[in-house]
Structure 1
Amino acid sequence: MASGLRITMFLLLAFISASVAQNVTGSKVEEFHVGVVLDLGTMVGKVANTSIAIAVEDFYAAHPNYTTRLVLHIRDSMSDDVQAASAVLDLLENYNVQAIIGPQKSSQAVFVSAIGNKYQVPIISFTATSTSLSSRSLPYFVQATVRDSAQVSSIASIIKTYGWREVVPVYADNDYGRGIIPDLVDALEGINAHIPYRSVIDESAASEQITQELYKLMTMQTRVFVVHMSSSLGSLFFTKAKEIGMMGKGFVWIITDGLANLIDSLNPSVVEAMNGALGVEFCVPKSTGLDNFTMRWYMRSRNDHPNDPTLKLNIFGLWSYDTIWAVAQAAEKTEVTEAKFQIPPALKSLETLEKSRNGPAVLQAILQTKFEGLSGYFDLSGGELQVSMFQIINVVGTARRVIGFWTAQNGISQQLDQSKTNRTYGSSTQNLSIVIWPGGSTEVPRGWEIPTNGKKLQVGIVIGGGYPKYIDANEDSITGVVTASGLVIEIFEEAVKKLPYALPYEYVVFNTTENVSSSYDDFVYQVYLKKYDIAVGDITIRYNRSLYVDFTLPYTESGIAMVVPVKESTNKNAWIFLKPLTPGMWFGTIVLFIYTGIVIWLLELLGNNINVHGPIPRQLATMLYFSLYEEKEMVKRLMSRIVLVIWLFFLVVLKSSYTASLTSMLTVQQLQPTITTVDELLRTGESVGYGRGSYIKGLLEELGFHESKIKPYDTPEDYHNALSKGSKNGGVAALVDEIPYIKLFLADNCKGYTMVGPIYKTAGFGYALQKGSPVIGDISKAILNITGGDSIIRIEKEWIGDQNNCQNVGTISGTGSLTFDSFAGPIIATGVASTTAVMVALIIYFCQNKKLGPGNGDSEEILPHEEHKDGGDERSQCQEEAGDRRMHGQINTPRSKGSNWLPKQAHIYSGIENVRT
Structure 2
Amino acid sequence: MGCDSQQSAQMNCKPSRLQVMEKAPRAILFLLLIVGFGVAQNTTSKGDEFHVGVILDLGTLAGKVARTSISLAVEDFYSVHRNHRTKLVLHIRDSMGSDVQAASAAIELLENYKVQAIVGPQKSSEVLFISNIGNITQVPIVSFTATSPSLTSDSMPYFVRATLNDSAQVNSIALLIKAYGWREVVPVYEDTDYGRGILPSLIEALQEIDARVPYRSVTPSSATSEIITQELYKLKAMQTRVFIVHMSPTMTSLFFTKAKEAGMMNKGFVWITTDGVANIIDSLDPSVIEAMNGVLGVRYYVPKSQELDSFTIRWNRMYQRDNPDESPFNKLSIVGLWGYDMIRALAQAAEKAGISSVTNKQPQSIKNSTCLDSMVISTNGPDLLTAIVQNKFRGISGDFDLTNRQLTVSVFQIINVVGRGWREIGFWTVNSGLSRQFNQTGLKITGPALMIDLNPVIWPGESTEIPRGWEIPTIGKKLRVGVRTSIYPEFIETFRDHATGETRASGLSVEIFEEAVKRLPFALTYEYLAFDTADPRSKGSYDDFVNQVYLQKYDIAVADTTIRCNRSLFVDFTVPYTESGVGMIVPVKENMIKNMWIFLKPLSAGMWFGSIIFFMYTGVVVWLLEYLDGNEHVHGPFSLKQLGITMFFSISEENEKLERFLSRIVLRVWMFVLLVLTSSYTASFASMLTVEQLSPTVTDVHELQKKGEYVGFHNGSYIEGLLLDIGFDRSKIRPYDTPEDLYDALSNGSKNGGIAALVLEVPYIKLFLAKYNKGYTMVGPIYKSAGFAFVLPKNSPLRAEISRAILNITESAKIIQIEKKWVDSNSHQNDDKTDGSDAITFESFGGLFLLTGIVTACSLFVAVLMNGYKKYQQNGGSKGDNQNECGHEKKGEDGDSQGEQRDPNINDMEKQATLPVSHSLNTNGDQLPDSKDNDICCRCTQNNKGRQKYEVIKWLKVSTNLSKVHLSISTINNQLPGKPG
Distance verdict in 2 for CA 1:425–1:376, change over 3 Å: farther
Indicate which of 319, 340, 353 corresponds to 2:360: 340
Q: What percentage of residue pairs aligned between the two structures are identical? A: 55
**Counterpart for residue 912 of structure 1:** none
Gaps in structure 2 of 5+ consecutive residues: 1-20, 889-898, 904-910, 913-936, 951-965, 968-981
Distance verdict in 2 for CA 1:750–1:525, change over 3 Å: same
Provide TM-score, normalisation by structure 1.
0.86
Whether the 8 Å CA contact 2:695–2:832 is kept in 1: the answer is: no
Q: 2: distance between equivalents of 1:390 and 1:791?
A: 50
**Counterpart for residue 914 of structure 1:** none
Instruction: Give per-residue Cα distances to partners, 1:804-847, cap 9 Å, x unaligned.
Output: 23332x68656323354872xx534763796599789989999x
The alignment status of 1:492 with 2:513, answered yes or no, reads: yes
Distance verdict in 2 for CA 1:446–1:23, change over 3 Å: closer
Whether the 8 Å CA contact 1:462–1:471 is kept in 2: the answer is: yes
Instruction: Give the C-alpha shift of residue 581 in structure 1.
Output: 2.6
Q: What one-letter code is carried by the residue in structure 1 that aligns with 2:529? A: V
**Counterpart for residue 450 of structure 1:** 472
Whether the 8 Å CA contact 2:432–2:444 is kept in 1: the answer is: yes
Distance verdict in 2 for CA 1:697–1:283, change over 3 Å: same
Instruction: Give the C-alpha shift of residue 676 in structure 1.
Output: 0.6
Q: 1:744-893 counterparts in 2 under 5 A?
A: 744-801=767-824, 803-808=825-830, 815-818=836-839, 820=841, 823=844, 827-828=846-847, 831=850, 835=854, 863-865=876-878, 868-872=881-885
Distance verdict in 2 for CA 1:189–1:295, change over 3 Å: same
Whether the 8 Å CA contact 1:93–1:340 is kept in 2: the answer is: no
Q: 1: distance between equivalents of 2:618 and 2:83?
A: 108
Whether the 8 Å CA contact 1:405–1:414 is kept in 2: the answer is: yes
Between 1:662-671 and 1:737-746, the stretch displaced more is 662-671
Instruction: Give per-residue Cα distances to partners, 1:890-914, cap 9 Å, x unaligned.
Output: 7999xxxxxxxxxxxxx99xxxxxx
Indicate which of 486, 491, 494 corresponds to 1:470: 491
**Counterpart for residue 148 of structure 1:** 166
Q: 2: distance between equivalents of 1:399 and 1:609?
A: 115
Instruction: Give per-residue Cα distances to partners, 1:718-744, cap 9 Å, x unaligned.
Output: 111111121122211111111111111
Partner-residue secondary structure (3-state), 1:511: coil
Partner-residue secondary structure (3-state), 1:470: coil
The alignment status of 1:662 with 2:685, answered yes or no, reads: yes
Distance verdict in 2 for CA 1:493–1:59, change over 3 Å: same
Whether the 8 Å CA contact 1:562–1:736 is kept in 2: the answer is: yes
Provide TM-score, normalisation by structure 2.
0.80
Distance verdict in 2 for CA 1:50–1:527, change over 3 Å: same
**Counterpart for residue 191 of structure 2:** 173
The alignment status of 1:197 with 2:215, answered yes or no, reads: yes
Whether the 8 Å CA contact 2:164–2:408 is kept in 1: the answer is: yes
The alignment status of 1:483 with 2:504, answered yes or no, reads: yes
Distance verdict in 2 for CA 1:517–1:246, change over 3 Å: closer
Q: What one-letter code is carried by the residue in structure 2 that aligns with 1:145? A: T
Between 1:146-155 and 1:300-309, the stretch displaced more is 300-309
Q: 1: distance between equivalents of 2:203 and 2:555?
A: 23
The alignment status of 1:318 with 2:345, answered yes or no, reads: no
Q: 1:257-336 counterparts in 2 under 5 A?
A: 257-308=275-326, 309-334=328-353, 336=355
Whether the 8 Å CA contact 1:410–1:418 is kept in 2: the answer is: no
Higher relative contact order (CA 8 A, sep 6+): 1
Whether the 8 Å CA contact 2:712–2:758 is kept in 1: the answer is: yes
Structure having the higher Rg: 2
Distance verdict in 2 for CA 1:822–1:174, change over 3 Å: farther
Between 1:131-140 and 1:121-130, the stretch displaced more is 131-140
The alignment status of 1:399 with 2:421, answered yes or no, reads: yes
Q: What one-letter code is carried by the residue in structure 1 that aligns with 2:482? A: G
Instruction: Give per-residue Cα distances to partners, 1:252-273, cap 9 Å, x unaligned.
Output: 1111111111111111121111
Instruction: Give per-residue Cα distances to partners, 1:654-684, cap 9 Å, x unaligned.
Output: 4333323323333433221111101211221
Q: 1:339-378 counterparts in 2 under 5 A?
A: 339-340=359-360, 349-351=371-373, 353=375, 355-378=377-400
Whether the 8 Å CA contact 2:940–2:948 is kept in 1: the answer is: no
Instruction: Give per-residue Cα distances to partners, 1:413-442, cap 9 Å, x unaligned.
Output: 112246568869854321111111111111
Partner-residue secondary structure (3-state), 2:360: coil
Q: 2: distance between equivalents of 1:657 and 1:139?
A: 94
Q: 1:511-550 counterparts in 2 under 5 A?
A: 511=532, 514=536, 516=538, 518-550=540-572
Distance verdict in 2 for CA 1:861–1:820, change over 3 Å: closer
Q: What one-letter code is carried by the residue in structure 2 that aligns with 1:503? A: L
Q: What one-letter code is carried by the residue in structure 1 that aligns with 2:522? A: Y
Distance verdict in 2 for CA 1:424–1:115, change over 3 Å: farther
Whether the 8 Å CA contact 2:629–2:660 is kept in 1: the answer is: no
Whether the 8 Å CA contact 2:627–2:635 is kept in 1: the answer is: no
Q: 1:734-753 counterparts in 2 under 5 A?
A: 734-753=757-776
Partner-residue secondary structure (3-state), 1:711: strand
Partner-residue secondary structure (3-state), 1:717: helix
Distance verdict in 2 for CA 1:754–1:310, change over 3 Å: same
Distance verdict in 2 for CA 1:45–1:577, change over 3 Å: same
Between 1:353-362 and 1:46-55, the stretch displaced more is 353-362
Instruction: Give the C-alpha shift of residue 155 in structure 1.
Output: 1.2
Whether the 8 Å CA contact 2:298–2:415 is kept in 1: the answer is: yes
Q: 1:547-558 counterparts in 2 under 5 A?
A: 547-558=569-580
Distance verdict in 2 for CA 1:563–1:104, change over 3 Å: same
Partner-residue secondary structure (3-state), 1:226: strand
Whether the 8 Å CA contact 1:482–1:508 is kept in 2: the answer is: yes
**Counterpart for residue 508 of structure 1:** 529
Between 1:761-770 and 1:399-408, the stretch displaced more is 399-408
Instruction: Give per-residue Cα distances to partners, 1:566-604, cap 9 Å, x unaligned.
Output: 1112574343222223333444555666777899999x8
Distance verdict in 2 for CA 1:709–1:239, change over 3 Å: same
Q: 1: distance between equivalents of 2:277 and 2:727?
A: 65
Instruction: Give per-residue Cα distances to partners, 1:99-125, cap 9 Å, x unaligned.
Output: 222211123223223333444433221
Q: 1: distance between equivalents of 2:620 and 2:637?
A: 13
Instruction: Give the C-alpha shift of residue 193 in structure 1.
Output: 1.8
The alignment status of 1:184 with 2:202, answered yes or no, reads: yes
Q: What one-letter code is carried by the residue in structure 1 that aligns with 2:796? A: S
**Counterpart for residue 29 of structure 2:** 11
Q: 1:116-265 counterparts in 2 under 5 A?
A: 116-265=134-283
Partner-residue secondary structure (3-state), 1:805: coil
Whether the 8 Å CA contact 1:510–1:523 is kept in 2: the answer is: yes
Whether the 8 Å CA contact 2:766–2:828 is kept in 1: the answer is: no
Instruction: Give per-residue Cα distances to partners, 1:51-99, cap 9 Å, x unaligned.
Output: 1122233334554554443332221111222111111222222222232
Between 1:826-835 and 1:391-400, the stretch displaced more is 826-835
Partner-residue secondary structure (3-state), 1:156: helix
Q: 2: distance between equivalents of 1:600 and 1:166?
A: 84
Instruction: Give the C-alpha shift of residue 15 in structure 1.
Output: 5.9
Whether the 8 Å CA contact 1:56–1:70 is kept in 2: the answer is: yes
Partner-residue secondary structure (3-state), 1:203: coil
Number of equivalent positions? 879
Instruction: Give the C-alpha shift of residue 349 in structure 1.
Output: 2.2
Partner-residue secondary structure (3-state), 2:588: strand
Q: 2: distance between equivalents of 1:212 and 1:793?
A: 49
**Counterpart for residue 98 of structure 2:** 80
Q: 1:46-57 counterparts in 2 under 5 A?
A: 46-57=64-75
Between 1:763-772 and 1:86-95, the stretch displaced more is 86-95
Partner-residue secondary structure (3-state), 2:470: coil
Between 1:385-394 and 1:566-575, the stretch displaced more is 566-575
Q: What one-letter code is carried by the residue in structure 2 that aligns with 1:153? A: N
Partner-residue secondary structure (3-state), 1:401: strand
Whether the 8 Å CA contact 1:609–1:636 is kept in 2: the answer is: no
Tell me how large the CA RMSD over aligned residues is: 4.3
Q: What one-letter code is carried by the residue in structure 2 that aligns with 1:255? A: T
Instruction: Give the C-alpha shift of residue 274 in structure 1.
Output: 0.8
Distance verdict in 2 for CA 1:616–1:128, change over 3 Å: farther
Whether the 8 Å CA contact 1:50–1:301 is kept in 2: the answer is: yes
Between 1:26-35 and 1:72-81, the stretch displaced more is 26-35
